[in-house]
Amino acid sequence: MPRLFGTDGVRGLANGLLTPKMALDLGEAAVRVLGSENHGAEGSRRRALVGRDTRVSGDFLGAALSAGMSAGGFDVIDVGILPTPGIAFLTSVLNVEMGAVISASHNPMPDNGIKFFARGGFKLPDAKEDEIEKILGQDWDRPTGQGVGRISHDTVTATNLYIKHLVETAAATEEAPLKGLRIVADCANGATSVVAPEVLRQAGADVNVINASPDGYNINDHAGSTHPEQLQAMVVASKADMGVAFDGDADRCLAVDATGRLINGDQIMGILARAKKRAGKLNHDTLVVTVMSNLGLKLALKDMGITTVETAVGDRYVLEEMLRGDFSIGGEQSGHVINREFATTGDGTLTALTLAAEVMHSGKSLEELANDFPQLPQKLINVPNVDKLAAKTNAAVQAAVAKEEASLGNTGRVLLRPSGTEPLVRVMVEAATQDQADEVCDRLAKVVASELAI
């Protein structure tokens, strides 16, 4: 049976895989596992935070998850709609035992997910998720009487605390550091529809906001980081200096320069790593990336005296490596950027702030900054409706990969990766030319679709 937890919590069709019973069982199991690590005073109440993105299914899943946690003896603070990194931040500063986020991030609206943060605001390691999964749905000696927890709601205080934290981060060196910068912000009708515009404005920017009217059904719908076309057109039409695009739970951010060109996570990480090196804050002169990062980023950074360390895909694996090596910044091509100086997880709004601040500090346009990190031609195809677990073992697929790798030689590479959050296989090819990358990727995607069809 496949592992329930993927690279970013439990994720699937809301009311399909992810039912109210599943949410309740996850809540109970999580407090049993994480509650055993309570570091509070003897007899003190144990507390948990629960937040969510704007999906309509978050209402019933949040109620069920909170019920499971409170039935397990935790007092639950429901902070309502808030970005995932906001929950991580509050889990740390409020010193609660755990935090939980109900979100499917960049996935389409019918999906949802549940992910947990341990004390301090860090995502759970695989071993802890395995413990939760192992006892999921088991009967146990539940608390009664005064042992059960309460559920309270506080959306305003939580949101204001998070906004204050971000604004103070931006204003660490000067008041209104973004004054005069014109930014278009695409909030994906998601969790940062209130937070990101407010933070950017308080930092001094002139902000034009699109897709910030969530109705429960329109999250990520032709909007945000997975569909940046509207943002690209708006930046050009409004003659803005730059644009930023978030995903549904706002833990990632992509950007658009004044010409309408998309600036991906690799280029953003390159810009921010170089800025940290200049400020003497790039620990060990190293940036942590994943296997998906473009070879062009690594080559450009090498010329700047910056080393790259590579991990598996998933921002928690990036963070694990950052903590292990005491590195200060890392992330993914998709726009997850972890800045350990200010956060314990990827934070899209923080990324937008720091990127905009570097535009102002450098005196260069975003286009000029990104041009220093050219990308090798790359093609990515997501192949749906396939047995993703067989991608690494199917003989025909592996033979096709080996053949294409031999043809590319040292001029490119092939990466075949089962998605950790969706039922598909990602086929990625880098090559000397875009035509070659397209052709190789197309051929491999057809083999995957044919051989692994379900």
Q: Is 152 a catalytic residue?
A: no
Q: Tell the burial category of 90 from Cβ atoms under 10 Å away from its Cβ (0-12, 13-18, 19+).
A: buried
Contact 307, 330 (CB under 8 A): no
Rounded to whole angstroms, the maximal C-alpha distance in the chain is: 69
Q: Which residue has the tokens 């990308």?
A: 375
Cβ neighbours around 2 below 10 Å, total: 7
Q: Which residue among the candidates 105, 293, 328, 334 is catalytic per the annotation?
A: 105
- Residue 220: what residue type? N
- Phi/psi region, residue 9 (left: phi>0; alpha: psi -120 to 50; beta: rest), is left
Contact 75, 149 (CB under 8 A): yes
- Residue 61: what residue type? L
Cα–Cα distance measured from residue 451 to residue 445, given in angstroms and rounded to the nearest whole number: 10
| In 71-135, beta strands by DSSP E | 75-81, 98-102, 111-118, 122-123
Instruction: Tell me the two tokens of residue 409.
Output: 């030689």
Contact 76, 149 (CB under 8 A): yes
Dihedral, 168, 170, 174, 177 alpha carbons, nearest 10 = -140
Sign of torsion, CA 336 339 342 343?
positive
> C-alpha angle 189/195/198, rounded to 5°?
115
Cα–Cα distance measured from residue 158 to residue 194, given in angstroms and rounded to the nearest whole number: 13
Run of H or E residues at 185: strand 182-186
> Coil, strand or helix: which one is 234?
helix
Contact 123, 235 (CB under 8 A): no
Please choose, from the candidates 383, 401, 379, the residue with its C-alpha nearest in 3D space to the C-alpha of residue 452: 383
Cβ neighbours around 136 below 10 Å, total: 16
Please choose, from the candidates 155, 31, 7, the residue with its C-alpha nearest in 3D space to the C-alpha of residue 90: 155
Instruction: Tell me the two tokens of residue 121.
Output: 């605001």
Dihedral, 176, 182, 188, 193 alpha carbons, nearest 10 = 30
* Residues carrying an active site annotation: 105
